[in-house]
A and B are shown apart, each in its own frame.
Chain A
Amino acid sequence: MNAKTLTHLQRLEAESIHILREVAAEAEKPVMLYSVGKDSAVMLHLAKKAFHPAPPPFPLLHVDTTWKFRDMYVMREKAARTAGMELLIHQNPEAKAKGINPFDHGPLHTDMWKTEGLKQALDLYGFDVAFGGARRDEEKSRAKERVFSFRSANHRWDPKNQRPELWRLYNARKAKGESVRVFPISNWTELDIWQYIHLEGIEIVPLYFAAPRPTVDRDGLILMVDDDRFRLHPGEVPKMRSVRFRTLGCYPLTGAVESTATTLPQVIQEMLLTTTSERQGRAIDHDQAASMEKKKQEGYF
């Protein structure tokens, strides 16, 4: 018999599909958190593969902050439509009423729109399992994250109370009110994600490719002026620069990099030759040492 050697991407794909199906089989009411970024795009693509020819047997949930890039909102609608999946959008009504925004409220912005918004949405719909696109290589505190990450009834993550995961056996049992965050692409790296997008021809938000965009400099980050809510300093005029984004979030908090990469291979090339890590473009990580760990305990993804 001729053995067929599986490539690393084939192995990762098989593992992720296995995880997605395991949740579909064992969860009461699963949902896929969809953030419109490249990791979400890969996770959604894997879900399509896992359940083809049926559409994935769960809805997509976007926890919206109202401050995402406009291109992301366009992509969100398109992706859900193409996948034949229901798209649920949640915006924290309290954050909305208080006008919480990234300019005036700093960390509170992320806390209220994202952390609180996510908890609200999960409670509102009664989802017991939520898929997330987090990867273990993103940040040190995530290296020990389980694929099935348990949250107490009040959504807290207790590092001491996580279950051992052996072989391909995931224990999804839980008490009423408890929930599980499941990360099907835990073992993918940034490079794996890009290679897979390239290989499978997965559509991603154009912001990942370089284009002339109106930008300003803020605290060492290049920010894009995506709409007229952006607060310019007196006399400041946005500068057109060829930039792209390595990660996507709220546009006033997401740093761009100057780039001329307009194709996927060029983007991957830049990524491989770059000397700074992916999360550097995100303002939230710089708050304090071990900040992700703290955020996770509070319920941020």
Chain B
Amino acid sequence: MSTQDPIYKTDALIAEDIDAYLTAHQHKTMLRFLTCGSVDDGKSTLIGRLLYDSKMIFEDQLAALEADSRRIGTQGQEIDFALLVDGLAAEREQGITIDVAYRFFATEKRKFIVADTPGHEQYTRNMVTGASTADLAVILVDARKGVLTQTRRHSYLVHLLGIRQIVLAVNKMDLVSYDQAVFDRIRADYAAFAQGIGIADFTAIPISGFKGDNITAVSANTPWYTGPALLPHLETVEVEDTRDQTGAFRMPVQWVNRPNLDFRGFCGLIASGQVRPGDAVRVLPGGKTSTVARIVALEGDRDLAVAGESVTLTLADEIDCSRGQVLVAAQDPLEVADQFEATIVWMDEAELVPGRSYWLKIGTQTVAATIHAPKYEVNVNTQEHLASKTLDLNAIGVAVVTTDRQIPFAPYAENRDLGGFILIDRHTNHTVGAGMIRFALRRAQNIHWQATDIGRTHHAAMKNQKPAVLWLTGLSGSGKSTIANIVERKLARMNRHTFLLDGDNVRHGLNKDLGFTEADRVENIRRVGEVAKLMTDAGLIVITAFISPFRSERDMVRGMMQPGEFMEIFVDTPLEVAEGRDVKGLYAKARAGQLKNFTGIDSPYEAPEAPELRIDTTETTPEQAADLIIARLIP
């Protein structure tokens, strides 16, 4: 193969004067970049080449590489650089890259962290992950094929994730005879597209990862190209790490350090701006102010800290401040809101359920959040807006997000740390989505809680009882309504003020617009939860009889109530028994295919894991069940 000798010879200083070398290298900067391209674009080959040419490949690895190249390589007897970076055994056999891999190399000027991501449509999630921490993206195009659908997809995602530096690497120039016309045409095609989606600037470089042209040095094969080779460009391109320093000071509080009563340090990574002792700061949400007393560090107090650094601050006043709150410049605070419009990337096999409660982690705080039905989904290939009721794996859409409390934030376009969030499923604990805040909705800012003079305590005291929600859950025909009725009758005899919310009845009125899809079932329960909550505020004992098949929603309702007020009662009847009873004839219809999404038949029932009470209806009469519930309510 026509290897040009690596230009990046080991620095002569290493051998001559190691101390001088070390001093020089301590001032290296760091660039994190992302490579996007499909299997055939030569992405792995390019990365392998960068590692090889910057002397990151050792003799033993090279020997293994040569052996592997002969055994399973795709380049005949020549070295297959792709084998250097295709990591896991499983994927090496499949010949594809299935996850984000991080590679490292360094030159005299910079340390590089490369996020190597697969470019296939199914792997949008991986590309988004890789892009979330990158400052620059190298988008590979095969010179023979030009700008393809996938090129547009990669560019859209990179732009969406806020990467401002883009390199269009037109690869495999050796296979088009280093033809300038080919390169110029591709660059022009790309420029037209890039402008359309808002990419202001990019750098196009003609390369051959396989042959090594324009990788470390300008190639003699492309005399018509006057720009920099790829590696020199990566070494000198302006790193945006200083950009965040120009904003106002913001630091999400990550950890409060209290070794003793005399010291209280607020630890965190500065998301934006700079901070000095004496600076006035404000705690959000809340708004209390103080001034920075010290910037404490192991090696001694510091007089300046900047965005990107992890620090410990002490304040002049003893004010409340805990993990999740954000310390900000007192005169230039952040916006605080509980409803946002956000772009959401779905990352889980199980689709988004609008209305369901997910954990939302932003900065250092985790709150409960619900996602509304998407305003639209984006076709990642064409960037068209599509109507959609949900988002499934790898889908991207724009939706309204409501959080259960006010959170300080900045739009993602301004700051990644203050505007990027992840969504976590409350039961599987998987990271199911990622979001980028666009803006807060005005509704959130304009609707305030109206304080009322007669509060919930007063309401309950007048009724001489403790409000509660007795939440009966179980299959259709399990006996929920029967038991609920008896409970209410018995409580009435005890002079308790109650209200029974029954699944069927609610669907005649409040929820008559809802069907039985997963999303509608979630909304059904959410509304019932809100109504039950209002009734407990009124001091009532609320009895509900709903199948409520999903744990997430039952937990969501539990979360709405005051601690101790929610009693989950599992009316446990085996499916055969409930189906055998079939009081309403629904099971027969479901079995006959006339009723869709019927719980237990073609829609799952998630049994409670730790209910306050479980009633086995095969051993307990409804009368006995009611007594058990009341005994638990009024001990």
Binding site for B on A (CB under 8 A): 1, 3-15, 17-18, 21-22, 24-25, 48-55, 136-137, 140-141, 143-144, 159, 162-169, 171, 173-175, 186-187, 189, 191-192, 195, 198-199, 265-266, 268-269, 272-277, 280, 289-290, 293-294
Contact = CB atoms under 8 A, between A and B. Distances in A.
Contacts of B113: 187
Contacts of B587: none
Interface of B: 10-11, 14-15, 18-19, 21-22, 25-30, 58-61, 84-85, 87-90, 92, 99-104, 106, 110-111, 113, 116, 125-126, 128-129, 132-133, 239, 241-242, 245-246, 254-255, 257-259, 263, 265, 267-269, 274, 296-298, 304, 306, 308-310, 312, 323, 347, 359, 361-362, 364, 416-417, 420-422, 424, 429-431, 434
9 contacts: A11-B241, A18-B254, A162-B99, A164-B126, A167-B417, A171-B431, A173-B424, A269-B14, A276-B58
Given A7-B27, A166-B434, A169-B420, A50 B241 contact: no
B316 to A, nearest CB: 18
Contacts of A18: 254, 269, 310
Nearest to B57: A277
B245 A1 contact: yes
Contacts of A52: 296-298, 312
Nearest to A280: B60
Interface centre among A7, A171, A189, A199 (most CB of B within 10 A): A171
Given A25-B254, A136-B104, A166-B422, A54 B259 contact: yes
A11 B133 CA distance: 13
A5 B241 contact: yes
Nearest to B243: A3
A7 B268 CA distance: 19
Nearest to A264: B22
Given A21-B254, A144-B101, A289-B89, A5 B18 contact: no
Nearest to B420: A167
A49 B88 CA distance: 35
Nearest to A159: B88
Contacts of B241: 5-6, 11
A113 to B, nearest CB: 25
For the complex of A and B, list the 5 residue pairs with the smallest distance between their C-beta atoms, beginning with the closest: A54-B259, A290-B89, A3-B242, A17-B310, A8-B30
B309 A22 contact: no
A199 B263 contact: no
Q: Which residue, of A163, A175, A266, has the highest number of chain B Cβ atoms within 10 A?
A: A163
A11 B18 contact: no
A10 B309 contact: yes
A5 B125 contact: no
Contacts of A5: 29, 239, 241-242
Contact of B59 (A140, A195, A276, A289): A276
B103 A265 contact: no
Nearest to A273: B14
A3 B243 CA distance: 8
A208 B270 CA distance: 36
A136 B306 CA distance: 27
Contacts of B267: 21, 50
A14 B296 CA distance: 14
A66 to B, nearest CB: 30
A260 to B, nearest CB: 13
B417 A274 contact: no
A275 B58 contact: yes
A6 B309 contact: yes
Given A1-B274, A50-B310, A52-B296, A143 B110 contact: no
